[in-house]
Structure 1
Amino acid sequence: MAFRCILYPGENPPELPDEVAAPDCFADLNLDQVVTAICVGRDEYNLRPFFHSPAPDLDTIHYRHEVMKDLEQDEVLGFVKSFSAKMRSMRDQIAKLNKLYYRLQKEAVFLDAIAFYCDAVSQLANDLGAANLRSAGLLGLRRHVEAYVQSEAFSSLHGTMTSIKSDLSEVEYSLLIRYTSVTVRRPGSEPDYGAAVEATFARFKQGDAKRFEFKLPDFFEMNHIEAGILDFVVRLYPEIFTRLHRYFQANQSYLDPIIGRWDREIQFYVAYLDYIRPLKRAGLPSCYPTLSTTSKAVRCHQTFDIALAHKLVGDNAPVITNNFELDGSERIFIVSGPNQGGKTTFARTFGQLHYLGRLGCPLPGKEATLFFFDRLFTHFEKEEDIHNHRGKLEDDLVRIHAILREATPNSIVILNEIFTSTTLRDALFLGRRVLERLIDLDLLCVCVTFMDELSSLGPQIVSLVSTVVPDNPAERTFRVVRRTADGRSYAMSIAEKYRVTYDSLRERLAS
């Protein structure tokens, strides 16, 4: 099978547009922060469309996993980055060329760009040939590059460039400057006046003299005088410059399209691996998930919010990991517990894992089994928008109704603190109706809520509780555990700490 693309297997990979809107869930899950950090310093590659476009099937995810694993070898990642640096130098030359005015200088810069390109491709062929590769993507690239380097097109491109550069390096000429005129001619047998001057003044030398050498400024762009002199040099060596001009005209489409596409797309892998490298250095685990299109079982071990972890590691702060699972008929996590205890972070983690899993990326955690979802919906609290003329409750209802209308049994829904703007009685009524609809859809869901009663609606629901330090309930552990929500454990811990339980009050009043 002919190699076409490093992101998609097969001979007909999709062509993503230059602009792909970020999924609606990105801001809620802090994935916008993750992608922004990944893309820093890589604007030339326009990587955002890749991160905004989940893989269409499991074959694509397995294909990407294999490439990622190959690139985790320092040797492989090293020569890929070396190739990218040379290609960047090539593009820099082309960018300079497009800003130049004089034709001959453009042609010389073009020759330098071809030199960078040929060197990059030749070295890539050698590196790929020597590397221990296992992925179908990089093995396919190896076959393509080997064939391309041996082709007549590349041999001619490289050989002619080398020959012209060699001829240009041998061009010599003399300048005779007299008043306002300049004469350009081939060098003759003129004596070296510099040596004569030095010999004349050597007799006056007394000890080591101060040196007055200086370097003339070297501006990249030619001025009209330099261009005029070069025009005369061309008349002295017409054959060489005619070859250069013909080479320039004949090779405007020199870049192999598959190598050019690969140079951009491989940055999807390189950028992500660079992003998670500080996390791995800090001792945090990463894994390649198992995804299924049929089983909705979810199991994750020692996982964490990747956006938050990136910030904490940068601040040398600890990162708390969590374990969770859904099995059998279980579909919905109801997450309750004290404020600022990690509930929303858990919800984000669940969404991040599934989305990054659909991209084919290594995930934060020791192991992960996930469902191959179709769409990921989020509903997080938002400030009231004065432009839509809706109150907060009405806005919640409109947004959740849109989710329920579009969600399918293969979707994932993440709800964070729903119906907080109404009374507890109304919030419970609305919350039950929403969850009953989600249960009927048989989809996966995480619901962060202060209403513990929602955790007992059926066997499809699993109760998770964010915990506190037993001896100091004001201190959060940021761990979320599977436990029945009773709505009283946290309040009882606070009461015991400040000795205002019934028994404590009786004891104190009796004394």
Structure 2
Amino acid sequence: MNAFSEMEGSMANSTTKSATALMSREIRDAVDNARYARPSSDKLVATSTRDSGQHAALSPSLLYEGPEPAELRSTAPPTFVDLHLGSVMLHVNTNQAEFDLNPILNTPLERLTDIAYRQGVAAELEQQTVSAAVREFAELMRHSRKSEERSLKAYFGYEKKFWFLDAARQYCAAVDRVTEAFDGVDLRSTGLLRMQEYVIEYAHGPQYTALKGEVFGLIDTLANVRYCVWVDGGEVTVYPFGDEQDYSEAIHNTFAKFRKNTVRDYRVNYRNADNMNHVESWIVDLVARRYPDTFSRLDAFTQRSSFRDSGLVKFDNEVAFYLGYFSYIARFREAGLPFCYPDVTSEKGDIAGTDVFDIALAEKLVQYHSSVILNDFRLDGPERIIVVSGPNQGGKTTFARMFGQLHYLAALGLPVPARAAKLYLFDEIFTHFEKSEDLTTLRGKLEDDLFRMHLILEQATSRSVIIMNEIFSSTSLKDAMKLGTRLIEKLSALDAYCVCVTFIDELSTINDKTVSMVSMIDPKNPAVRTFRVERQIADGLAYAHAIAEKYEITYDWLMRRVPS
């Protein structure tokens, strides 16, 4: 038969041959029982995303304690650019590349109960036993999806079906593994307790039991499929295996007497191709005709639209949110940087952070093994506005970004870059960072600053968090002082939490809602920034005194030069 004439070499008369020629090792081993031998008269000759909706309404969520939001944000908040959160979320997403986590990452929570719910789930997922089981479940589910993708991409009919069966086997392994783990662990978080109950009920339910029985029953049946292949020139014949003699041992014993010393091994190792070729496909088609009952069961199984439970698919999707973030912050923890689950409140009052840092900047510093500066902040009682001043390049903007990052990550229910923190549940974060002039708007820089601040004040509420960086730097000191004072007064009346980076020290003393924080320098060398931002009066004298000391023009130095 000319269609087979391109086969290279010849097949030994007594060789084992797989009915599938590929698939995972488990299925390959299960059906790898065929032999080649001379044919008898009884022969056949060859001449030429699926997820079920079961329990969808009942499946628990790992992300929401109460009703799930009707819609998630498809695009990132505009503040991501100023807060450098875009790069953070990109890395979290990259760690779980199979899932689109952006809608979850783009949508901060609005209820304290949901934040506490996520924090409980996240904290428990960080425990070694729970983490190992969930990660193994996620990995097996990934293998199941990969096998199904191979099924969709495969060219030959039974190749598609074998990959689909392998996907189901991997899925069953994932369900069994997570069920076994949940059976033997004492969970405490509400989210994982709900999922534990759901998984165990599903795994012992009739639907999954029937699926598992069908999958492994079919694999066992395929394991008993034994056939013979006879190759004679261009003709390939498939016929039932009839306990023909295996000549391998006889040949080995015959030639063993000629072997005296260790000799070079001239045997060639053949690599199994990842895909089934046309020869293997036709052989399997002939085997299917020999065993119609077995392969009709395989045909029927692969006709189903799906085999996965939607609740477990949802579990797999949602747990990726936590695992992706944990993978991202692992590099910082290895560098000794602290993370904590903050106390989040919706009541106005004290908020604070201890040993906090800018996570986006830390990513670059850790990469180059540089030290990361930790800072503290607090707002007590009626205080609402942190006014940050000090020399340029001293860490003021980094501090402002950090304040926004902390609040946003806390609103996602995730650990934040701090040793301890108490933060506010906002309705929106607004940022006003310095930007270059845009010729298309026909507005000057000062006019653009005022226009953007006007939009923020129109939209912001008392529950907003507002971060302003280097406002009114394009105008004179007198005008900037007047505009800045009006702005601080409006923000004070709004009663929103705010960080304002400015070169005008006087803005920190406008009323009792403002607090002064100053970026520090090395007293011995004013050219050296410590990047520490500390709570102290902004009188501008510390920096001026350091400069005067450097150039020896302080009062003490001058008195030394003046004759008594």
TM-score range, shorter chain: over 0.9
The answer on 1:4 being equivalent to 2:60 is yes
1:271 aligns with 2:357: no
The 1:206–1:357 alpha-carbon spacing in structure 2 relative to 1, beyond 3 Å, is closer
Alignment-derived partner of residue 130 in structure 2: 76
Percent identity over the alignment? 44
Looking at structure 1, the residues matched to 75 and 349 of structure 2 have their Cα atoms a distance apart, in angstroms, of 28
Corresponding residue for 2:540? 487
In structure 2, the partner of 1:87 is 141
Instruction: Return the offset for 1:57.
Output: 0.4
The residue type equivalent to 1:117 in the other structure is Y
Q: Give the residue type in structure 1 aligned to 2:68.
A: P
Does residue 347 (structure 1) correspond to residue 400 (structure 2)? The answer is yes
Deviation at 1:65, TM superposition (A): 1.0
1:212 is matched with which residue? 266
Aligned to 1:123: 177
Give the aligned partner of residue 363 of structure 1.
Answer: 416
CA distance in 1, matches of 2:238, 2:273: 21
2:68 corresponds to 1:13:
yes
The alpha-carbon distance between structure 1 residues 152 and 490, as it changes in their structure 2 partners (threshold 3 A), is same
Separation in 1, partners of 2:403, 2:533: 12
Asked if 1:431 corresponds to 2:484, the answer is: yes
Alignment-derived partner of residue 111 in structure 2:
57
Question: Could you tell me how far apart the structure 1 residues matched to 2:341 and 2:78 are?
Answer: 25
Q: Give, in whole Å, the separation in 1 of the partners of 2:431 and 2:545.
A: 33
Q: 1:121 and 1:207, CA in 2 relative to 1: closer, same or farther beyond 3 A?
A: same
CA distance in 2, matches of 1:203, 1:459: 101
CA distance in 1, matches of 2:380, 2:251: 93
- Structure 1 67/199 Cα, relative in aligned 2: closer, same or farther at 3 Å? closer
Residue 410 (structure 1) aligns with: 463
Equivalent AA in structure 1 for residue 406 of structure 2: L
Structure 1 residues 6 and 509, CA gap change in structure 2 (3 angstroms): same
* SS of aligned partner of 1:329: coil
| Gap change, CA 1:109 and 1:16, over 3 Å in 2 | farther
- Tell me the SS of whatever aligns to 1:211: coil
Cα separation, partners in 2 of 1:474 and 1:133, compared to 1, 3 Å: same
1:105 is aligned to 2:167: no
The CA distance in 2 between the partners of 1:183 and 1:16, in whole Å, is: 60
Q: Deviations over 1:88-128 (max 9, x none)?
A: 11011011111012221111111111111001101101101
Residue 199 of structure 1, CA deviation: 5.3
Structure 2 equivalent of residue 224 of structure 1: 278
Q: 1:194 to 1:125 in 2, by over 3 A?
A: closer
Q: Distance in 2 between matches of 1:291 and 1:266?
A: 22
The residue number in structure 2 matching 1:163 is 217
Point out which structure has higher relative CO (alpha carbons under 8 A, 6+ apart).
Answer: 2
1:25-36 matches, cutoff 5 A = 25-36=79-90
Aligned-residue Cα RMSD (Å) equals 2.0
Question: CA shift at 1:206, angstroms?
Answer: 5.2
Amino acid at match of 2:205: S
Deviation at 1:413, TM superposition (A): 0.7
Partners of 2:151 and 2:164 within 8 A in 1 = yes
Deviations 1:190-241 (A, max 9, x none): 4444455555555655544432222334223223332222111111111100
Q: Helix, strand or coil: the match of 2:95?
A: coil
Greater shift, 359-368 or 217-226, is seen at 217-226
Matched, 1:235 2:289: yes
Per-residue Cα deviation, 1:425-478 (whole angstroms, up to 9, x for no partner) = 221122122222111211111100001121121111111111122222222222
2:10 corresponds to which residue? none
Amino acid at match of 2:363: H
Structure 1 counterpart of 2:499: 446
Give the TM-score normalised by structure 2: 0.86
Aligned to 2:40: none
- In the alignment, the residues of structure 2 paired with residue 147 and residue 369 of structure 1 have an alpha-carbon distance, to the nearest angstrom, of 39
Whole-angstrom distance in 2 between the partners of 1:465 and 1:203:
90
Report the Cα distance in structure 1 between the residues aligned to 2:214 and 2:357, rounded to whole angstroms: 55
Q: In the alignment, what sits opposite 1:141? A: 195
**What residue ranges of structure 1 are gaps of 5+ in the alignment?**
none
Paired residue secondary structure (1:481) = strand
CA distance in 2 between partners of 1:412 and 1:301 (Å): 19
Cα deviation for residue 495 of structure 1 reads 0.9
Normalising by structure 1, we get a TM-score of 0.94
Aligned counterpart, 1:461: 514
Q: How many residues are aligned here?
A: 508
Aligned: 1:249 with 2:303: yes
Structure 1: distance between partners of 2:71 and 2:315: 14
Equivalent-residue separation in structure 2 for 1:479 and 1:7 (angstroms): 36
Matches of 1:439 and 1:230, distance apart in 2 = 78
- Provide the secondary structure at the position in 2 that maps to 1:98: helix
- Hey, what's the Cα distance between the residues in 2 that align with 1:204 and 1:161? 48
Counterpart of 1:399 (choices 448, 452, 455) is: 452
Displacement after TM superposition at 1:506 (Å): 5.8
